Amino acid sequence: MVAKFMFLRALFSLFFIFSQTVNGFELDWELIHYKLQQPMPSWIIEQIQEDLQPFEEINLTEALIDQTINSVRSVPSGSLSQFVKYTLKNNQVSFQTIEATNDPRITFVVEALNEIISHLPLPDLTFLASLWDYYDNPLFLEKTDCPVFAICKKKGNKKAVLYPEFRHFDYRKRLYSDIDWISGAIDWKNKIPVAFWRGMSSGGHYAIDTWDQMPRSRLVLLSQEYPELVDAAFTTPYSLYEPVKTIMESYGMFKTWGYPTDFVKYNYLISIDGNSFASNLWWQLLSNCCVLKTDSPFIEWFYKGIERNVHYIPFSLNCCDLKEKIEWLNENEQTAFDIAERGRTFAKEHLTNEDLIIYFYQLLQAYSKLYQGEN
């Protein structure tokens, strides 16, 4: 019965990934108001302060934002910054794209802003965001004088300001609900003691002579060597040259896609970087599985709230220590269970759609104290 329900749910959710409109912001505003009345977690305060501190002594105006846009676009690859300028004025939201684009991520941010200003006060302000997966190009950073909102950045980046990703917000809500439900229905002792992963062949250029050295390829090859410990495979031949794809297919490195609720039956889930951060970490933490996460230079807005060996087990990006980590977890089942429980508790308290809105609102409030207007 559970399997049948989740299959139908998967089909329904997959349809919405592709058909979703921006009218998907069904939020519990009573809960949001309640949480805003409570003391903010220290990690939220620290992340926002750390991101905005480099700009406390500058004259942060719209003119400075425009100056940054022009300076970055003077770099030959400057158009790849994919800048969008968002403005809140008289309780209305507008945006300006610097390069011609109809990227749906823009509309989701607009919808999030409209949700916020319809329920909470925000002063007039303008902020700059990048649509890129991470804002870390050294040439761009050198030309950046104002905060640039980004969904991901590398540790030590003092120019990018982290904020949540609102793409597929409605699908995210359903996935959260499904993962939360199925996680409570499967007992830890009935799970399969294997580390599981499915994903795309992203993370860099898979060349004919280097494809097997890519981190995700190494993970899948490790799975073939130790199938009793790891079940890892690619689902999508993302940006692969045909000769490379043919070779990888000959090694049996591709399997069909599955809805994430299918993965909860394993004790361990693997979070490994692609082009930047691993976008599945939030629901993996919720899953009541022990998460194995690569040591990564990339961070998202909530990473200050999770700790190594407390909420997840770290492993090397080249997977050289992954076998050893899984064997250790199998020998220390109570520790693995406790880590899974702490990850789930964190996700339930801090990674709902309402929590994303709360963080964005707190960030905008702090940003507004630095913003000085048009001139």
- Tallying the residues shown for the chain, one arrives at 375
pLDDT at 211: 87
Confidence of residue 98 (pLDDT cuts 50, 70, 90): confident
- For 54-93, the pLDDT digits (tens) are 999 999 999 999 999 999 999 999 999 999 999 999 999 9
Confidence of residue 16 (pLDDT cuts 50, 70, 90): very low
Question: Is residue 13's pLDDT more than 70?
Answer: no
216/318 Cα distance (integer angstroms):
8
Element (H, E) at 83: strand 83-89
* b/e map 88-107, b = 16+ CB within 10 Å: beeeebeeeebeeeeeebbe
Residue 102 DSSP one-character state: -
Question: Is residue 310's pLDDT more than 90?
Answer: yes
Confidence of residue 219 (pLDDT cuts 50, 70, 90): very high
Any idea which residue has 């996700």 for tokens? 347
Query: Token digits for 246?
Result: 């043919």
Phi and psi angles of residue 244, each rounded to the nearest 5 degrees, phi first:
-70, -45
Instruction: Please give the torsion angle defined by the CA atoms of residues 38, 41, 42 and 48, in that order, rounded to the nearest 10 degrees.
Output: -100
Cβ proximity of 203 and 274 under 8 Å: yes
SS3 content of the chain, % helix, strand, coil (to 5): 45, 15, 35
Please name each of the domains of the chain with its CATH number: 28-168+354-368 (no CATH), 185-351 (3.40.50.2000)
pTM of the model: 0.91
- As a whole number, the mean pLDDT across the chain is 92
- For 33-56, the pLDDT digits (tens) are 999 999 999 999 999 999 999 999
* More confident site: 17 or 247: 247
Half-sphere exposure of 374 (CA within 13 A, CB side): 3
Mean pLDDT of 286-298: 97
Where helices occur in the chain by DSSP H, the ranges are 2-19, 29-36, 42-52, 62-73, 104-117, 138-142, 169-185, 215-225, 242-250, 281-286, 322-331, 333-350, 353-368
